[in-house]
Amino acid sequence: MKRSTMASVLSVALLGAIVFNGSAQSARKPRFDWATVVNNTDPMPGDPAGRTFNSYNQPSVNMNGLVVIRARSRGGQGGQGGGQPTHGIYTRDMKIPGSPIVRVLDRTTLVPQPNNLGTTFVETPSFPRIDMWSDTIATRGNHQPVWNYVTGTDPATGEDIETRAGTTGIYANPFDELITGAAKLGAVPDFGFFAVPGLEPATMFDVFPGAPSVTDATTIVFKGNFTVEGVGKTGVFYRDLVDELINSGPGGGTNPVVLIANNTDTLIPGTSQLFGSTSPPSAANGLVVFSGFDNEDAPTLGGIYLAPLAEQPKLKTLVSIGERVPGEPVKATFNGLGEGGAFDGRHVGFWGAWGPETRTMRLYCPTEGNKDRIDYCNQALLCADTGETLGDPNSICDDVNDPNFGISCYQEKQVPLHQGIFVHDIKTRRTQIVAKTGAQFDEFLFWNYSGKTPCVGGGHSEEGAEDDGEPARWRSSAFVAVSGKGGANFMAAFKARTGELVDGVYTDPLDGIYLRSGPGLGQAIVTVLDTTMDGLALDPEAPAGSTITELGLERESLRGNWLAINASMGIEGGSEEEGMAGVYLTKLP
């Protein structure tokens, strides 16, 4: 069997590598006019080697057309300027013609206070987000410890015992300068406002999985993981930031972190069962939406919930496991709901699945990205700390190398046959289906191998770990964004795939970004972009004869009439250097 390209097996978060998926001779023109936010010809602001952009995460955009992206340059041996690639967060104001690309942070940027070690950022391990009505962005950041402090005296020598802390946090810019919104410093004296609320002694967060949300210009809302007596815990929290200095440097004040819901104290509404898992939240207009289940991998209870920004508020159930699927036969009930819900203050966009039928997907280990994770997936991670060679226990490896997939290690996943994209209106309490598998689409789930490898210290790759502190594994995501048009009217943009599944792998898949207006099903689904379209029509600097090869969308890619996406373009048989990638914006009618 001829296997398809890697792009047809998993979703590549940082678009840049060129993988051909369509025929340039039959390339179609995009329906809308697109402006380039940034592409591979643009120099990275502040980069001393003058390197240009090369790959991009899915962008976010606010109501004013300010786009925020995570991007990187080439790097490594023979890369642009050699050495480590530049990683960073950047913005561009697209409502102003010719506006500059602005660096928010990169690997040369000092981590905001508290920081008495002169520490700079290493990595931003998830896509950045932006407030709907202001220019405040929020992003995770990983780095070396930022704070050195004395924890006692050595009785033998009389010398101070010093400890270093703070290797991850959430950073925002509500008052122009970048400040620390949350940090792994809650157990450090004087920084108890960063601690997990309600615990004694003061307990720090371990990590902040997913992408933090920001609302009302100065409030960050996030998922936080922490440990109590050796047991991992998780929850959804928020923190209000104020324009006050911390340790004589830029700061966000000393307001404490506030608990919304967790798996220690919060019951799943209508049950006597505590939450077993919670998802990274989405927030808008002083409200927060998140998913929570009894069992993340095989939920029998739980759903999608709405809450005000308050301490342990009463949760309102929007959609639940076991609820009837709108537009389907009466016996069809949800048995799966997505974690990455979009929210505009009224409408909630989400993925859902129903029915017992499944298909087998074969997911091949990635060939690009973090070397430790690639090796772990391929059963070949050599831990320098222990000398052990480790591998993902779920990986299956072929006896012979495959020209497309190297060692040819893979995992098999059972994927729901019946799945769709939905929008819930919190005012009318109506849930409607936007698109589903069947006649038009075959798949809404896209896969990515991510997480932390089990070596001591979490791995050794020079590229910085794109992980959430949880073990490396395959994760699936559905991509949907939603924007209200007044009253009950909305637009929903989503990513979907069509193609034939052969031996667990899509052959010659067609990926696209699609748009549907609601409420009601009277409006047709519109193809915004897909992998049959002319790359030159999307980006005037793309190669002649190129076709779109990769597309990306996230939950804040659609705000008002602004739609922001990332894309790659290439020529059949061409190399990455001959192609083009970038972030693009259109204003929908």
User: Does the residue 421 lie in any domain?
Assistant: yes
- Report the mean per-residue pLDDT for the chain: 90
Looking at residue 369, its pLDDT comes to 78
Q: Name which of 3-12, 211-220, 291-300 the model is least confident about.
A: 3-12
- Residue whose C-alpha is closest to residue 238's, from 290, 294, 274: 290
Convert the pLDDT of each residue in 100-119 to its tens digit.
Answer: 999 999 999 999 999 999 99
Structural tokens at position 403: 């020209």
Question: What pLDDT is stored for residue 406 in this prediction?
Answer: 52
| Tokens describing residue 33 | 């006019």
d(CA 294, CA 303): 9
In the chain, how many domains are there?
1
What proportion of the chain, given as a percentage, has pLDDT over 90? 77
Range in 326-340, 422-436, 453-467 with the lowest mean pLDDT: 453-467
Q: What is the mean pLDDT of residues 128-147?
A: 97
Give ∠ CA 131-137-141 in degrees, rounded to 5: 140
pLDDT value of position 169: 98
Structure tokens at 286: 């002083």
Strand pairing category for 129-130 and 147-153: unpaired
pLDDT digits 0-9 by tens, 382-430: 998 788 999 999 999 976 555 554 567 999 999 999 999 999 999 999 9
Give the integer Cα–Cα distance in Å for 230 and 324: 39
Q: Going by C-beta distance under 8 Å and a sequence separation of 6 or more, which residues neighbour residue 515?
A: 491, 492, 493, 525, 526, 528, 563, 588
Handedness of CA 281, 284, 286, 289 (dihedral sign): negative
Give the pLDDT of residue 367: 85
Least confident of 331-340, 372-381, 569-578: 569-578
Q: Which residues contact 356 (CB under 8 A, 6 or more apart)?
A: none
Q: How many residues does the chain have?
A: 589
**pLDDT tens string 458-505:** 443 433 344 556 789 999 999 999 999 999 999 999 999 999 999 999
Q: What is the pLDDT of residues 57-103, one digit of tens each?
A: 999 999 999 999 999 998 644 444 456 889 999 999 999 999 999 99
- For residue 581, being part of any structural domain is answered with yes
pLDDT at 521: 80
Contacts of 420 (CB under 8 A, 6+ apart): 325, 351, 352, 353, 433, 434, 435, 436, 437, 444
Mean pLDDT of 270-293: 97
Residues 561 and 485: their CA atoms lie apart, in Å, by 9
Establish if 500 belongs to a structural domain.
yes
When pLDDT is averaged across residues 152-175 and rounded to a whole number, the result is: 93
**DSSP codes, 366-400:** PSSS-HHHHHHHTT-EE-TTT--EE--TT-EE-SS
- SS3 for 442? coil
Whether 1 is in a domain gets the answer no
Mean pLDDT, residues 276-288 taken together:
97
> Which of 232-246, 248-262, 353-367, 455-469 has the weakest average pLDDT?
455-469
What pTM was computed for the model?
0.91
Best-predicted range by mean pLDDT among 252-266, 357-371, 390-404?
252-266
**pLDDT at residue 19, rounded to an integer:** 36
Work out the pLDDT band at 24, boundaries 50, 70, 90: very low
Position with higher pLDDT, 572 vs 561: 561
Q: How much of the chain, in percent, has pLDDT values that exceed 70?
A: 90
Distance of CA 149 to the CA centre of its chain: 33
- Compute the distance between CA of residue 137 and CA of residue 42 in angstroms, rounded to an integer: 22
| More confidently predicted of 520 and 77 | 520
Buried b (16+ CB within 10 A) or exposed e, 361-384: bbbbbbeebbebbbbbbbbbbebe
- Asked whether 325 and 428 are in contact (CB, 8 A), the reply is no
Burial class (CB in 10 A: 0-12, 13-18, 19+), 354: buried
pLDDT value for 401: 55
Sequential DSSP letters for 477-504: E--EEEEEEETTEEEEEEEEEEEEEETT
Average pLDDT score over residue span 532-543: 95
Buried b (16+ CB within 10 A) or exposed e, 411-428: bebebbebbbbbbbbbee
User: Residue 30 corresponds to which amino acid?
Assistant: P
Q: What's the rounded Cα separation, in Å, for the pair 199 and 43?
A: 47
Three-state helix/strand/coil letters over 510-576: EEEEEEEEECCCCCCCEEEEECCEEHHHHCCCCCCCCEEEEEECCCCCEECCEEEEEEEEECCCCCH
Tell whether 364 is covered by a domain: yes
Report how far apart, in Å, the C-alpha atoms of 146 and of each of 142, 265, 576 are: 10, 31, 37
Query: DSSP characters for 220-280?
Result: EEEEEEEEETTEEEEEEEEEE--S--BTTB----SPPPEEEEETTTPBPTTSSPBPSEE--
pLDDT at 11 over 90: no
Q: CA–CA separation, 574 vs 68, rounded Å?
A: 30
159-163, 314-318, 332-336: the lowest-pLDDT one: 159-163
- Rounded Cα–Cα distance for residues 585 and 563 (Å): 6
Give the pLDDT mean for 545-556.
96
Distances (CA, A) of 490 to 4, 343, 417, 517: 36, 11, 27, 6
Mapped to the 3 state alphabet, what secondary structure does 149-210 carry? EEEEECCCCCCEEEEEECCEEEEEEEECEEEEEEECCCCCCCCHHHCCCCCCCCCCCCECCC
452 DSSP assignment: B
Q: Say yes or no to pLDDT of 13 above 80.
A: no
Domain that residue 342 falls in: 6-587
457 pLDDT exceeds 60?
A: no
